[in-house]
Amino acid sequence: MHTDYLIIGSGIAGLTFAIKISAFFPDKIITIVTKSTAEETNTKYAQGGIAVVQNRTEDHFKKHIEDTLICGDGLCNVEVVEMVIKQGPKRLQELIDWGAKFDMNAKGHLDLGREGGHSKNRVVHHKDQTGFEIERAILAQANSRNNIQILDFHFALELISEKKQCFGAYVLNEKTNEILTLQSDITLLATGGIGQVYGHTTNPAVATGDGIAMAKRAGAVVRDMEFIQFHPTALYDKNATSTFLISEAVRGFGAYLRTKKGNRFMLDYDERADLASRDIVSQSIETELKKSGESCVYLDCTHLNPDDFIKHFPMIYRRCKDLGIAIEKDWIPVLPAQHYVCGGIAVDRNGKTTIDNLFACGESSRTGLHGANRLASNSLLEALVYAHNIYEFLIKSIPKNGVNGAEIMDWKLNEDCKINPQYILKTKAALQHLMQNKVGIVRHDKDLLVAKSKLQSWKNEVAAMQEQHQINKDFYELKNMIDTGILIVDQSIARTENRGGFLKT
């Protein structure tokens, strides 16, 4: 099977690029492969919004740039930060033109929220379901284009690469268990995050580090994987099987963090208090919990106008109410959870990886924007800007050699015995527990070495099993999670200086 552009992933990064390239090249075929339904992406679960400077009388690009650099703790690429932030208004307008609807204030202007690390209100949002609204709008746009085909329930196994050049990917049709050899002149990895590597994460089940692991196996450079961002305020519910996020915008709206005894502890850690950046708030909560021995801290919204709260955060209000938490009189129990990886596949300003004809965009990429810690709501902006940059580059660029220059073999299916699903479930749970306890908010070299040894042992087991068994999506997700875990651990061991979201004692 051949396509002109192969996009792996159907979130904001992949869809934005697909929409643009399909319009410029109406005679080219754009193929999007996604391992679940097309709308099941990290984008869908982004509550907060997009950080874009709008009100120029009260805000300015310079302030947004400064906030990003402070949050990144000295490791951001300044030129990249300036480029991304200055493109913000144009990229946001494109989303609006494609049908995305954002909240407006009484004067008819965009209602701008504020989140941790931001010195001004500049977060454009749709209630507390911004990502869901964006995904709805851009997926409708993609579905309306005749030259875009979306293959849902198709799982990318490996990149087809040779001599630092990419020729597409081997893709598993989950319904038929057939492996397609999907050749492409250009391949874009837009596979999202790595959250499922950790036991406690705000990410959906699809976030298993697939693109990063695939790129690493193909020989691409992967950087800054030690910088794992933990969101400070995931809802604490010991009976839940998944983690629900209490948006940072709630603190931007005026909520306070408190200990069980009522102490507003963030005043002791940072002059910005509850609106400090995520790394500082998460590390502060970790310190408080170790001192008290409690399971969680609390978010106090009782002093806020309940009608205004419900208007801005209807989904959060409903979830709390379902759990018997009345925000008018009860504090919300919260705990940090893995949320975002600031590193990933190294790319230049055009989204090019270190492998020819392979590009990466969104959370799976490392652009230099985030440095050691991501500023809230900069991620959707980054995806929009880099999807546009890749598009701009490729409409002027001819792929190097292309697929005609390679001898591509089909994947030989192994029809032998199936892998025991209990092995996958058991190993996945053990991996998540290991990463949560040994490679969490605060790390120690001794723990990291223990984690590395165990991960390598699992890697060897999985490699042996792949030779002898029929593979499936669950098996390959586990393989990717192990490879991603090793990257996080190795790069954590290598880092000797604490910065941003990385703290080793």
- pLDDT higher than 70, residue 403: no
CATH number at residue 459: 1.20.58.100
Name which residue leads in pLDDT, 406 or 265.
265
Question: And the tokens for 262?
Answer: 């009522």
Q: Is residue 429 part of a domain?
A: yes
Question: How many domains does the chain fold into?
Answer: 3
The whole-number pLDDT of residue 45 equals 80
Q: Which residues lie closer than 8 Å to 403 by C-beta, 6 or more apart?
A: 2, 167, 168, 183, 184, 185
Distances (CA, A) of 228 to 321, 343, 368, 382: 31, 8, 14, 17
Strand partners, 183: 2, 168
Q: Provide CB contacts within 8 A for 348, sequence distance 6+.
A: none
Backbone CA torsion sign across 389, 480, 342, 129: positive
Rounded to 5 degrees, what angle do the CA atoms 301, 302, 306 make?
85
Mean residue pLDDT of the chain comes to 94
Same domain assignment for residues 173 and 35: yes
pLDDT of residue 474: 95
Residue 416 domain-assigned?
no
Q: Which distant-in-sequence residues (6+ apart) come within 8 Å of 351 by Cβ? A: 188, 359, 360, 361, 365, 386, 387, 389, 390, 393
The answer on pLDDT for 267 being more than 80 is yes
Residue in 196, 137, 162, 148 with CA at minimum distance from that of residue 34: 148
The pLDDT of 487-500, averaged and rounded, is 97
The angle subtended at Cα 21 by Cα 20 and Cα 25, nearest 5°, is 125
Among 211, 189, 190, 186, residue whose Cα is nearest residue 357: 186
Asked if pLDDT for residue 405 goes beyond 60, the answer is no
Q: Which pLDDT score, from 0 to 100, does residue 388 have? A: 98
Q: Say whether pLDDT at 240 is over 80.
A: no
Verify that 401 and 320 share a domain, yes or no.
Answer: no
Q: Which of 278, 366, 374, 443 is catalytic?
A: 278
pLDDT bucket at 241, cuts 50 / 70 / 90: low
- As a whole number, mean pLDDT of residues 2-15 equals 96
Q: Is residue 350 part of a domain?
A: yes
Q: What pLDDT, on the 0 to 100 scale, is given for residue 44? A: 78
Tell me: pLDDT of 407 over 90.
no
pLDDT-based confidence at 22, cuts 50/70/90? very high
Q: Domain containing 251: what range?
A: 234-338
Tokens of 285: 């909560």
Residue 278 annotated among the catalytic residues of the structure: yes
- The CATH number of the domain where 79 resides is what? 3.50.50.60
CA distance 461 to 389: 41
Tokens of 384: 């929009």
- pLDDT more than 90, % of the chain: 86
Residue 177 belongs to some domain of the structure: yes
Residue 273: both structure tokens together = 């208090």
Q: What is the pLDDT of residues 81-138, one digit of tens each?
A: 999 999 999 999 999 999 999 999 999 999 999 999 999 999 999 998 999 999 999 9
Q: Which of 53-62, 189-198, 379-388 has the lowest mean pLDDT?
A: 53-62
Same structural domain, 81 and 209: yes
Q: Which of 189, 188, 170 is nearest to 180 (CA)?
A: 170
Whether 65 and 31 map to the same domain: the answer is yes
pLDDT at 180: 95
pLDDT for 433: 95
| Mean pLDDT in residue range 46-66 | 91
Distance CA 241, CA 88 (A): 36
Binned at pLDDT 50, 70 and 90, residue 157 comes out as very high
Tell me the pairing of strands 50-51 and 148-152: unpaired
pLDDT reading at 478 higher than 90: yes
For residue 269, what pLDDT band results from cuts at 50, 70 and 90? very high
